[in-house]
Amino acid sequence: MSPRKHRRAPSGASGASGDDGERELNPSNETVEDGYRVRRITGSSSSKVYRCPGCDQEIRMGTPHVVAWVEDDAETRRHWHTPCWESRNHRAPKIERTRNAPRY
C-alpha cells in the first residue's frame, strides 16, 4: 500500500487563511510595547551573531534575546539582550565628550 499524499485545500475552502504562504501577521511570541513591536527569540532559533545596541556587546548564537522595531517600520529592527531591552528606559544617553569637557 502506498503512503497517503497530502492534498492542498482549494483557496476558497474554509480554514485557508488566504495569505498564500506568508508569515503569520501577529505570532504568539510578538507583543506591542510603547510603540515597538517586540518578538522574543529562543536560543535554539537564533542562528547568527548580532550586536546589541544597548550594551554594544555581541549576542552569540544560541542565546535567547529580543527583537524590537518601530511598529510601522521593519527597517529599524534591532536585536537586544533581554536585560538590555528591559532596562532601556533607565539608561543614560551615550555622549562622547572630549577630555576637557565638563561632565554636565
pLDDT of residue 20: 46
Coil vs helix vs strand at 4: coil
Instruction: Determine phi and psi for 68, rounding to 5 degrees.
Output: -135, 145
Write out pLDDT tens, residues 39-62: 999 888 888 899 999 898 999 999
DSSP code of 74? G
Band (pLDDT 50/70/90 cuts) for residue 104 is: low
Rounded to 5 degrees, φ, ψ at 48 are: -135, 165
What average pLDDT does this structure show over 64-70? 93
pLDDT (tens digit per residue) in 22-38: 455 566 778 888 889 99
User: For residues 17 and 11, is the Cβ–Cβ distance under 8 A?
Assistant: no
